[in-house]
Amino acid sequence: MLDKSIPYIDVLMQRKKGTPIPHFPLPEGFKYVFYKPGDEYAWAKIEMSVLEFDNEADALARFRRFADMPTEAERRTVFIENEQGEKIATSTAWWEYTGIRRDPWLHWVSVKPEYQGLGLGKAIISHVTQMMADIEGDRDFYLHTQTWSHKAIRLYEKIGWQITAEKGLWKYAQNPHDEAMAVLEKL
């Protein structure tokens, strides 16, 4: 869940080439499934449940970026389903261009609040990071998060990601690393 009681500052993280990708299995009763057209509504519900969006229309508009490339979305967007077939977590292994290079990025890692604390976040992060390595090769990978997600940042760090001060990444030409670190260190 986002902690909107602190200042919002972008945080960029990196998984360096060669960093081992730990495997965290899904708990019993859960399974991974890939995106299929129509699943964008489940994606929107998951993202709204963690307060990333205030309404379904905004969430669906954001997801269209992936859905505009259906073949890629179907091989790069993953959900976790519970035993009833409800999609309760998601993440996407995508890429972004800096204008100079194409970098793999982990996007939209979210677990519905009522399922947090079960190990699903660790499982989907390690699963999708491995997917990225399989698709993109062993390279530096990136993700964007924010100070509001400080609990998730600690989870990413346990899985081998680290906060980076690298500039010129995707739309974050001026990485606000120092400001983000000042907020995170107070926590």
What's the pLDDT score for residue 187? Answer: 86
DSSP state at residue 97: E
Comparing C-alpha atoms, which of 92, 87, 88, 56 is closest to residue 74? 92
Tokens of 7: 């200042």
CB atoms within 10 A of CB 164: 18
Strand arrangement, sheet containing 162-163:
31-34, 77-81, 87-97, 102-111, 141-146, 10-15, 162-163
Helix axes 40-49, 56-67, angle to 10 degrees: 130
CATH of 10-186, one of 2.60.40.1120, 3.40.630.30, 3.40.50.2000, 3.40.190.10: 3.40.630.30
Calpha distance 15→163 (Å, rounded)? 9
Q: What is the domain partition of the chain in residue ranges?
A: 10-186
pLDDT at res. 174:
80
d(CA 177, CA 167): 9
Give 40 or 67, the one with higher predicted confidence.
Answer: 40
Tokens 């292994």, located at residue? 93
Angle, alpha carbons 178-184-187 (nearest 5°):
150
Whole-structure pTM value:
0.92
DSSP H helical ranges for 3-159: 40-49, 56-67, 70-76, 120-136, 150-158
* 85-144 pLDDT tens trace: 999 999 999 998 877 889 999 999 999 999 999 999 999 999 999 999 999 999 999 999
Q: What percent of the chain has pLDDT over 70?
A: 100
Q: Is the pLDDT of residue 31 over 80?
A: yes
Average pLDDT of the segment spanning 19-47:
96
- If one compares 181 and 32, the residue with the highest pLDDT of the two is 32
31 Cα distance to chain centroid: 18
| Interatomic CA distance for residues 88 and 110, integer angstroms | 8
3-state secondary structure of 130: helix
